[in-house]
Amino acid sequence: MTFFCNTDAGRGDLFRRLFGEALPDLPFAVPGDDVDAAEVRYLLTWTAPPNLRDAYPALEVLFSTGAGVDQFRFDDLPPQTQLVRMIEPGITAMMQEYVVMGVLALHRGLPAYLGQQAREEWKVLPAVPAAGRRVGVMGLGELGKAVLEALRPFDFPLAGWSRSARDIPGVVCHSGASGLQDFLAATDILICLLPLTDETRGILSADLFARLPQGAGLVHAGRGQQLDAAALIAALDSGHLEAAVIDVCDPEPLPPGHPLWHHPRILLTPHVASQTNAETAAQVVIDNIRRHRRGEPMVGLVTRERGY
C-alpha cells in the first residue's frame, strides 16, 4: 500500500520527511522512485496521469493538491477511488486576502483612479459608505464562508447564493434557480467562488450581468471556464458594469492580445488568488489518510454526483 506524491522535488522532500514522521508504516514514493503503480493506494497530484484507471487499478484515494478538482474526470478513475480536494488553512487565508483586496479595490474605485493616473487627471470620484455597498458571494462552501467572514468587519451588507440552501448568521442566503434573481438584483459587488460543474460553466454570462444593478462590479476567483469574457467586456463598455477583478481565465495563460489584458476597468492577475502551503497541506493529507484508515469521512471528499 503506497502513497505516491506526484509533485515537484522540493515539495516531495518535505512530504517525505513529514510522512516518515507521522506514517512510518506507509511506503512513500515520488517521481523518479522505483514504484509499482499496482501497489499505489493513495495518489497526490494536480493533474491526472495518463490512463489513470489502468495505471493505478488499486487506487483508493486521489488527493488534489489544490482546492479545485475539475481537472479530473470521474469516468477516468477506478470505480472504488475517492476524490478529495485540498482544504487547508493556507488556501483559505490567501483567498480571504485576495477577495477582500478585490472588493475594496472596486468599492473605493481603484480601477477608475488608475485610469486617471495614466491620464494625469486629478479628480475626486464620489464615495459610497460600506454600509451602502451590497456584496454577494456565489458559492457558499468552505472558501465562500471564509470570505464572508473576512468581509464582515467592513460593514458591507452580505449575501450569498448556492445550489442548495445554506444558513449563515448575518448573511442573506439564497439558493437554487429560484433564488438567483433576487440575489443578483441586490448585489453591487459580485464574488464568484463557484466550483466548475456542467451547471456553472459559462454562468458569468451576458444574461447574468444584465441582472446585476447598474454600476455593479465583479471579483472572479472561481474557474476561468465560468466567465464569458466577451460578455464581461461588453457589459463594461456599455457602462452597466463599473469594473472587474479577474484572477482566472480561459485559456490560461491568457494569450497575447486578448482583450482582458488591456481593458482599462479590469484588474487582472494570473491565477494567484490562493496557493497551497506545502507544510500545512501535508498535514491535511496525513490527517485524511488516518481518517480513511479508520473508516471515517475525509475532509474535502468530493461527491461524484455533484462534482464538488
Give yes or no: 133 in active site: no
Neighbours of 280 (CB within 10 A): 16
Give yes or no: 220 in active site: no
The tally of CA atoms less than 13 A away on the side-chain side of residue 174 is 19
The residue among 6, 30, 34 whose CA lies nearest residue 16 is: 30
Identified catalytic residue from 108, 211, 258, 271: 271
Instruction: State the chain's maximal CA–CA distance in angstroms.
Output: 67
Q: From residue 126, give the alpha-carbon distance in Å to each of 46, 108, 178, 189.
A: 45, 9, 34, 17
How far apart CA 308 and CA 306 sit, in angstroms, is: 6
State the virtual CA torsion across 79, 84, 85, 90 in degrees, nearest 10: -160
**Which residues, in sequence order, are CB contacts of 41 under 8 Å at separation 6+?**
1, 2, 3, 58, 59, 60, 61
Written as one string, the DSSP assignment of 6-43 is -S-HHHHHHHHHHHHHH-TTS-EE-TTS---GGGEEEE
Grid cell 497575447 in the structure block, residue:
256
The residue among 176, 252, 260, 182 whose CA lies nearest residue 218 is: 260
Grid cell 479545485 in the structure block, residue:
68
How far apart CA 123 and CA 258 sit, in angstroms, is: 30
How far apart CA 152 and CA 279 sit, in angstroms, is: 29
Identified catalytic residue from 174, 223, 265, 292: 223
Q: Which residues are catalytic?
A: 223, 271
